[in-house]
A = this chain, B = another copy of it.
Amino acid sequence: MKLTVLGGGGVRVPAFIRGLISSGRATFDEICLFEPDELRRKTTGRLSVELAGALGRPGAVQLTADAEQAFASADFVFSTIRVGGDAARVVDEEVALRRGIVGQETTGPGGCAMALRTIPVLLGYCDILARCAPGAVLINFTNPVGVITQAISLRTSVRVVGVCDTPSSTLDRLAGFLGADRDQVSFSYGGLNHLGWITSFAVGGEERIGTLLDRYEELRRFDHAFAAFDPAQVRRLGAIPTEYVYYFYEPARYVAAVARAGASRGADVLRLNSELLAGIASAFDAGGVDDAWSAYSMLMGIRRDTYMRTDTDGDNAQAQARARRAAAGPVGPGGGRPSGYEGVALQVIDGLTARSPGEVIVNTRNGASLGFLDPDDVVEVPALVHGGGVSPLAIGQLPRSAIGLITQTKEYERELVEAAVTGDAGLAALALAVHPLVPGVTVAREMISEYRERHGPHLAYLR
Contact = CB atoms under 8 A, between A and B. Distances in A.
Contacts of A430: 230, 232-233, 236
Nearest to A246: B440
Interface stretch (A17-25, A43-51, A212-220, A381-389): A381-389
A357 interface: yes
A156 interface: no
Interface string A391-409: 1111111001101111111
A368 interface: yes
A388 B203 CA distance: 6
Contacts of A65: none
A372 B372 contact: yes
A229 to B, nearest CB: 8
Interface stretch (A75-83, A249-257, A276-284, A451-459): A249-257
A391 B393 contact: yes
Interface in A356-390: 357-359, 367-369, 371-372, 375, 382, 384, 386-389
A254 B409 CA distance: 23
Given A252-B443, A371-B368, A441-B230, A359 B391 contact: yes
A185 interface: yes
Contact of A253 (B396, B403, B434, B443): B443
A250 B372 CA distance: 26
Copies in the complex: 4
Given A358-B358, A384-B359, A404-B408, A391 B442 contact: no
Secondary structure call for the A interface: mixed
A179 interface: no
Interface string A295-310: 0000000000000000
Interface string A329-368: 0000000000000000000000000100111000000011
Given A251-B440, A427-B236, A440-B249, A186 B404 contact: no
Contact of A386 (B181, B359, B411): B359
A388 B252 CA distance: 39
A125 interface: no
A357 to B, nearest CB: 5
B388 A185 contact: yes
A368 B371 CA distance: 8
B396 A375 contact: yes
Closest 5 CB pairs of A and B: A186-B388, A404-B408, A404-B407, A252-B439, A183-B387
